[in-house]
Amino acid sequence: MINQVILVGRLTRNPEMSSTPQGTPFAQITLAVNRSFRNHNGEIEADFVHCILWRKAAENTCKYCRKGSVLGITGRLQTRNYESREGKRTYITEVVAESVRFLSSRPQSVSTEEKKEESVSVGV
């Protein structure tokens, strides 16, 4: 079986770091990915894809990327579900990132010390 996803898109908001109860860092992001065709009005639409980043990939993305940053993500598609407080079953489909590449330049707010770091491509 094959379950591989490759995306290039822009962050819809600044990424925020979270951690599991066991202390494992993660970040949930949304990428706006343009479609490869125009709609009946001649406009290019976008899909908004939810992604989850783990460990160092999450830490570096939160450190170096901001809303509008272009990311390349390779990962796998995952579906999960849970029951809401109202008793309704909710399904979630997301991409679990296996590697993340930063494809746009660093934001101006990054300090000189951080610019010296080499790693702009992170794997999980």
Counted domains in the chain: 1
Q: How far is Cα 25 from Cα 63, in angstroms, rounded to an integer?
A: 13
90 conformational bin, left if phi > 0, alpha if psi -120 to 50, beta if neither: beta
pLDDT at 7: 96
Q: How far is Cα 105 from Cα 21, in angstroms, rounded to an integer?
A: 33
pLDDT at 112: 44
Residue 103: its H or E element: none
Q: What is the CATH number of the domain that holds 79?
A: 2.40.50.140
pLDDT at 94: 96
Q: Which domain holds residue 26?
A: 5-123
Q: Where are the alpha helices (DSSP H) in the chain?
A: 55-64, 112-115
For 30-63, how does the pLDDT look when each residue is reduced to its tens digit (9 = 90+)? 999 999 899 889 899 999 999 999 999 999 999 9
**Beta strand pairing status for 121-123 and 5-11?**
unpaired
Q: How far is Cα 64 from Cα 55, in angstroms, rounded to an integer?
A: 15
Are 123 and 90 spatial neighbours (Cβ–Cβ below 8 Å)? Answer: no
Task: Tell me the pLDDT of the chain (124 aa) as tens digits.
Answer: 999 999 999 999 999 999 999 999 999 999 999 998 998 898 999 999 999 999 999 999 999 999 999 999 999 999 999 999 999 999 999 999 999 999 987 655 554 444 444 344 445 5
